Amino acid sequence: MPLAHADVVTKLNQIADTALVQLVYVSSLTLRSRLSTTIFEDIESKAREYNERNFITGALCYGNGHFLQCVEGEKSKVSALLERILADERHQNIEVLLLQTVEQRSFTDWRMRMVFLERWLWSPATKQQADQLSPYLPFVPHGWSFERTEQFLEVIKTFENHPHVNATGITYNALGNMVRHIAAPHQAFLVVQGSLSVLLAVALVLLFL
Ligand code: FAD
């Protein structure tokens, strides 16, 4: 069950400032943010610089209008980041699924590794490789249990080199990803169809002139 806000505060207060903590929360994009074509780039440009400066590692998953983010770092740094994230009006329904002290980090990269959890954003190759994600789709992470959240983290931890994981940060917004994944494998088809459409338009114009 998700932790109530008061429980999160209490739990954070009980942890030493320098302890290494792992926090996982989920949220939903607001309608306005769903229409933004730069939402991922905007978040990434802040997160990349801030997280590196504060030694915060983790992963940011997006699918079906929902985010699931895992952040790891010193408690004081994670607390400060959580405050900023809670105040962010681009998302809503924020629920903390997991908050615990850990011996070591699960994610070694300070950049917010982006994992897209929508089948239509995947290439055919990715679909084959990403069978392990099927139990988590459609992606509706609100209300996930502690165990399910941990199992999910175990899965995405292994995705270092998967094509749908953008290890260098978030470079495509939702629209960009759609075009890349849908259009790219069908380039030849689209070129032929485009050419035929132009020829048809020319033929119709000539016919009726
Ligand atoms: P400011 O930059 O002053 O912004 C104040 C408010 O303005 C924000 O709360 C937001 O509501 C709004 N805002 C900011 N930029 C934009 C924009 N480009 N378009 C529209 N509205 C905007 N930040 C990190 O540093 N690390 C992370 O790991 C991280 N993960 C995030 C994950 C999610 C799902 C979301 C939605 C945001 C994340 N952020 C992250 C961003 C974070 O919430 C703050 O917006 C950011 O840290 C800047 O905080 P600030 O106090 O400097 O606010």
67 CA to centre of ligand 1 in angstroms = 14
For residue 38, give the ligand 1 atom closest to its CA: 18
Rounded average pLDDT over 21-26: 97
**Residue type (1 letter), 185:** P
CA-nearest of 71, 77, 129 to 100 is 71
Ligand 1 pocket, 89 CB below 6 A?
A: yes
For ligand 1, atom 14, which residue shows the shortest CA distance? 88
Rounded average pLDDT over 173-197: 74
How would residue 167 be classed by pLDDT, with cut points 50, 70 and 90? very low
Residue from 39, 50, 69, 90 whose mutation best tests the ligand 1 pocket (most atoms within 8 A of CB): 90
Ligand 1 pocket, 81 CB below 6 A?
A: yes
CA torsion through residues 77, 81, 16, 56, sign: negative
CA-nearest of 30, 45, 29, 63 to 177 is 63
Q: What is the 3-state secondary structure (H, E, C) of the chain?
A: CCECHHHHHHHHHHCCCCCEEEEEEEEEECHHHHHCCCHHHHHHHHHHHHHHHCCCEEEEEEECCEEEEEEEEEHHHHHHHHHHHHCCCCEEEEEEEEEEECCCCCCCCCCCEEEECCHHHCCHHHHHHHHHHHHHCCCCCCCCCHHHHHHHHHHHHCCCCCCCEECCCCCCCHHHHHHHHHHHHHHHHHHHHHHHHHHHHHHHHHHHC
Which percentage of the chain shows pLDDT scores above 70?
Answer: 79
Contact assessment for residue 27 and residue 95, using Cβ atoms and an 8 Å cutoff:
yes
For ligand 1, atom 27, which residue shows the shortest CA distance? 47
84 CA to centre of ligand 1 in angstroms = 7
Ligand 1 pocket, 43 CB below 6 A?
A: yes
Ligand 1 pocket, 156 CB below 6 A?
A: no
Ligand 1 pocket, 61 CB below 6 A?
A: no
The Cα–Cα gap between 139 and 117 comes to 6
pLDDT at 174: 58
How would residue 170 be classed by pLDDT, with cut points 50, 70 and 90? very low
pLDDT digits 0-9 by tens, 120-138:
666 665 666 567 788 888 8
Ligand 1 pocket, 147 CB below 6 A?
A: no
How would residue 41 be classed by pLDDT, with cut points 50, 70 and 90? confident
How would residue 168 be classed by pLDDT, with cut points 50, 70 and 90? very low
pLDDT at 95: 96
Question: What's the pTM?
Answer: 0.81
